[in-house]
């Protein structure tokens, strides 16, 4: 990965890259022509649409996938429990049933 979102060394958004890679990876394994290993049930097994999860704090932030700067880094205070939730932009596209599963 050589600066996928700009020329500056710090030009990348970790959540955007992780989300894109997760969605791409899940799409690859859904292709029936490819060899697939034995399936094992996970937390997303019964969901038809997968929504990447974020911490509660980062889910409230606005998404700008091409915002290539690390100058607005927010350091998280140490916490024993981290709640993972879909980003606020994904919640509006999720049904009530999908939201209850969280």
User: What are the tens digits of pLDDT across the range 43-56?
Assistant: 888 888 888 888 88
Can you tell me the distance from the alpha carbon of 98 to that of 55, in angstroms, rounded to the nearest whole number? Answer: 18
User: What are the tens digits of pLDDT across the range 66-92?
Assistant: 655 666 677 777 777 777 777 777 766
Can you tell me the distance from the alpha carbon of 8 to that of 70, in angstroms, rounded to the nearest whole number? Answer: 10
Can you tell me the distance from the alpha carbon of 78 to that of 99, in angstroms, rounded to the nearest whole number? Answer: 27
- pTM of the predicted protein model: 0.27
């Amino acid at each position: 990965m050589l600066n996928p979102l700009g020329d500056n060394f710090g030009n990348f958004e970790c959540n955007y890259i992780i989300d894109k890679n997760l969605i791409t990876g899940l799409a690859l394994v859904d292709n029936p022509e490819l060899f697939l290993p034995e399936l094992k049930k996970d937390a997303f097994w019964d969901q038809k649409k997968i929504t990447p999860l974020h911490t509660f704090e980062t889910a409230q932030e606005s998404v700008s996938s091409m915002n290539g700067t690390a100058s607005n880094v927010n350091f998280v205070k140490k916490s024993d429990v981290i709640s993972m939730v879909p980003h606020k932009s994904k919640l509006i596209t999720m049904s009530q049933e999908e939201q209850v599963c969280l």
